């Protein structure tokens, strides 16, 4: 049985949005656009400006191809999947990327590699799945983080190791952090240290909002795009092919073979791995319609700070930091003396360039670091985060009758886990990995009964989160 997943009108729109112009489109919105474009420029991120020239890739698809495995999307997930397929299963996959290597989230994030995935805490795993499954989940995430550390050691990506601070943004949060630390220790044997506001602000960073902090030993900051370029180099050296400027604009399945239509030719694949993150068009494949909620996140990087500013903020650590807001701030003192900080952004792509979102972020920075009020911002950008409707990712084959697999839904925690998701996706594509029976592997992404109205709900939730977050 065959089906066409992108109708001709949408496909024409896709081509129109891509053809002719490679200019970055700041208003791109995955819920509205038929696709992420065709050969588009990178977002104007600090990482793009400082990563150096992109390593060679295999250029656009220029003719019809027959392949065993096609991966859609060349972010961390797609590249890690191709790398593991080649290194661990002897399968030389073909990666199809609409724009440039890691054009999506993987060139826009905060570079915070955390020992986490999805948006739920370890105690929430216990509530959702019970202790046994939560323990297995912890092992999976920890194993992923260990692999991540191995890759970071192999790739030149300016690592800033040492751990992760979770900063209580209000005194009332300290009791919650203490309870979480106890669960980490008692249930998972995962050590951490609770620090008072005075100790944290004196010894690490003088964040004026900090009411204390929880330090976990795992956590590494990386240069987001140097990491992606490293994955690209390793994947191609292992035998993968990476075609950029090759958006999948149409998809038909004929006698079990997937015909992926790109501008330069049709790629016929026996199996397809979808690694398109929040940049997944509604029309890409029926199994994914309304399964991922794309949420915008804003990020900015200051100019190089003066010694006096650094002293005033007491930047004594380069470890990665997030605060405990639901609409959280994440930040880090970068190796070249700048501050990177990010948080929530607009709801729609059309509203993303509105300066009020950047102003909110600047105000958040100034609350934390009054000495930086008014400091010049050298880089600011935004990107879409793939949040699943139950806040946890999935790496799965949604229909066992179809050779279609995906790894999606990391909820803003994908820098480290995406490579483990790629490893698990590769196993599944290679017909292995059945022993890993966690719910994130055995169930597909859940839908949402009110999917068409999700953005109205998101507006209400943001208001609710804001009120809750800012309560004394
Ligand atoms: C501003 C921001 C800050 C973040 N900060 C952090 C952080 O500090 N720590 C953390 O853990 N996570 C963070 N994240 C999340 C993290 O970046 C992602 O989880 C991770 O990069 C996802 O990688 P991916 O490969 O799955 O998706 P992406 O990197 O988004 O790659 C998907 C790719 O698929 C391509 N694509 C889509 N459709 C098609 C098609 N039809 N044909 C061909 N190609 C297609 C896109 O062009 C894109 O390049 C952040 C995200 C954002 C936006």
Here the CATH number for the domain that contains residue 315 is 3.30.9.10
* 461 found inside a domain: no
Co-location of 98 and 197 in the same domain:
no
| CA 300 to centroid of chain Cα atoms | 17
Nearest-atom index, ligand 1, CA of 37: 47
The end-to-end CA distance of the chain, in Å, is: 59
- Stretches where the chain sits below pLDDT 50 are 1-20
Last residue of a domain, one of 387, 403, 422: 387
Co-location of 216 and 341 in the same domain:
yes
Co-location of 94 and 237 in the same domain:
yes
CB proximity list for 33: less than 8 A, separation 6 or greater: 13, 14, 17, 281, 349
Q: Is the CB of 42 under 6 A from ligand 1?
A: no
With b meaning 16 or more CB within 10 Å and e meaning fewer, what string describes 267-306? Answer: bbbebbbbbbbbbbbbbbbebbebbbbbbbbbbbbbeebe
Q: Is the CB of 381 under 6 A from ligand 1?
A: no
pLDDT of residue 12: 35
Co-location of 331 and 400 in the same domain:
no
Last residue of a domain, one of 331, 361, 387: 387
- Atom 32 (ligand 1) nearest CA: 276
pLDDT of residue 17: 40
CA 83 – CA 241 distance, rounded (Å)? 10
CA 326 – CA 397 distance, rounded (Å)? 31
pLDDT of residue 125: 97
CA 151 – CA 331 distance, rounded (Å)? 23
**In Å, how far are 98, 225, 307, 324, 439 from 360, measured between CA atoms?**
32, 26, 26, 17, 37
pLDDT of residue 15: 40
Q: Is the CB of 72 under 6 A from ligand 1?
A: yes
Q: How far is the CA of 277 from the centre of ligand 1 (A)?
A: 5
Phi and psi for 118 in degrees, rounded to 5? 75, -175
Co-location of 411 and 426 in the same domain:
yes
Nearest-atom index, ligand 1, CA of 410: 19
Q: Name the residue range of residue 438's domain.
A: 2-109+224-291+389-456
Q: Mapping DSSP to helix (H, G, I), strand (E, B) and coil, where does residue 378 land?
A: strand
Q: How far is the CA of 385 from the centre of ligand 1 (A)?
A: 7
pLDDT of residue 292: 92
Domain count for the chain, please give it. Answer: 2
- Atom 3 (ligand 1) nearest CA: 109
Q: Is the CB of 342 under 6 A from ligand 1?
A: yes
- Atom 25 (ligand 1) nearest CA: 75
Q: Is the CB of 35 under 6 A from ligand 1?
A: yes
15: CATH: 3.50.50.60
Q: Is the CB of 282 under 6 A from ligand 1?
A: no
pTM, two decimals, is 0.95
CA 176 – CA 173 distance, rounded (Å)? 5
Residue-wise pLDDT for 370-386, tens only, equals 999 999 999 999 999 99
Co-location of 172 and 239 in the same domain:
no
Q: Which of 304, 309, 275 is nearest to 104 (CA)?
A: 275
Q: Is the CB of 393 under 6 A from ligand 1?
A: no
Nearest-atom index, ligand 1, CA of 96: 43
Around 218, how many Cα atoms within 13 Å sit in the side-chain half-sphere?
Answer: 19
Q: Mapping DSSP to helix (H, G, I), strand (E, B) and coil, where does residue 266 land?
A: strand
Q: How far is the CA of 102 from the centre of ligand 1 (A)?
A: 7
Q: Per the structure block, which two tokens stand in for 66? A: 């027959």
Q: How far is the CA of 75 from the centre of ligand 1 (A)?
A: 6
- Atom 19 (ligand 1) nearest CA: 414
- Atom 41 (ligand 1) nearest CA: 248
Q: Which long-range CB contacts under 8 A does 203-207 form with residues at least 24 apart?
A: 203/316, 204/165, 204/314, 204/316, 204/317, 204/319, 205/165, 205/313, 205/314, 205/315, 205/316, 205/317, 205/321, 205/333, 206/312, 206/313, 206/314, 206/369, 207/167, 207/321, 207/323, 207/368, 207/369
Residue-wise pLDDT for 98-131, tens only, equals 999 999 999 999 999 999 999 999 999 999 999 9
pLDDT of residue 3: 33
Co-location of 383 and 410 in the same domain:
no
Co-location of 27 and 84 in the same domain:
yes
pLDDT of residue 409: 97
Nearest-atom index, ligand 1, CA of 296: 53
* 469 found inside a domain: no
pLDDT of residue 2: 35
105, 264, 404, best to mutate for ligand 1 pocket (most atoms within 8 Å of CB): 105
Co-location of 279 and 195 in the same domain:
no
Residue 22: exposure state from Cβ atoms within 10 A (0-12, 13-18, ≥19): middle
- Atom 15 (ligand 1) nearest CA: 412
């Amino acid at each position: 049985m065959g089906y066409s997943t992108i109708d001709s009108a949408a496909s024409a729109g896709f081509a129109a949005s891509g053809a002719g112009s490679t200019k970055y489109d700041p208003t791109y919105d995955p819920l509205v656009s038929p696709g992420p474009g065709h050969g588009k420029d990178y977002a104007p991120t600090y990482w793009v400006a400082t990563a150096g020239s992109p390593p060679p890739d295999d250029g656009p698809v220029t003719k019809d191809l027959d392949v065993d495995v096609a991966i859609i999307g060349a972010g961390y997930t797609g590249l890690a999947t191709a790398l593991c397929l080649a290194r661990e299963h002897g399968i030389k996959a073909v990666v199809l990327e609409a724009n440039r290597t890691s054009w999506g989230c993987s060139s826009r994030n905060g570079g915070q590699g955390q020992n986490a995935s999805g948006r739920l805490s370890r105690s929430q795993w216990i509530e959702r799945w019970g202790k046994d499954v939560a323990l297995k989940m912890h092992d999976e995430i920890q194993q992923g983080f260990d692999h991540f550390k191995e890759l970071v050691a192999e790739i030149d990506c300016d690592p800033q190791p040492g751990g992760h601070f979770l900063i209580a943004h209000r005194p009332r949060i300290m009791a919650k952090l203490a309870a979480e630390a106890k669960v980490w220790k008692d249930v998972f044997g995962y050590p951490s240290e609770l620090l008072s506001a005075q100790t944290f602000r004196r010894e690490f960073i003088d964040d004026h909002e900090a009411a204390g902090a929880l330090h976990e030993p795992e956590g590494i900051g990386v240069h987001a795009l140097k990491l992606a370029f490293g994955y690209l180099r390793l994947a191609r050296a292992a035998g993968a092919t990476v075609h950029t400027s090759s958006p999948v604009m149409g998809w038909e399945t004929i006698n079990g073979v997937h015909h992926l239509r790109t501008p330069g030719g049709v790629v016929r694949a026996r199996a397809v791995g979808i690694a398109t993150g929040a940049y997944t068009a509604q029309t890409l494949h029926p199994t994914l319609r309304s399964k991922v909620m794309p949420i915008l996140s804003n990020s900015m990087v200051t100019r190089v700070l003066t010694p006096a500013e650094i002293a005033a903020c007491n930047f004594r650590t380069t470890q990665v930091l997030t605060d405990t807001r639901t609409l959280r701030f994440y930040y880090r003192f970068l190796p070249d003396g700048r501050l990177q900080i990010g948080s929530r952004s607009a709801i729609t792509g059309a509203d993303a360039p509105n300066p009020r979102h950047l102003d909110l972020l600047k105000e958040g920075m100034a609350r934390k670091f009054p000495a930086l009020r008014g400091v010049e911002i050298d880089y600011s950008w935004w990107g879409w985060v793939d949040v699943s409707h139950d806040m946890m990712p999935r790496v799965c084959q949604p229909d066992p009758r179809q050779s279609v697999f995906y790894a999606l839904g990391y909820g803003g925690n994908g820098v480290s886990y995406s490579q483990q998701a790629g490893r698990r996706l590769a196993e599944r594509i290679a017909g292995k990995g059945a022993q890993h029976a966690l719910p994130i592997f055995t169930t597909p992404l859940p839908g949402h009964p009110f999917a068409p109205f999700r953005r109205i709900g998101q507006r209400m939730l943001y208001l609710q989160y804001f009120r809750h977050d800012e309560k004394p």
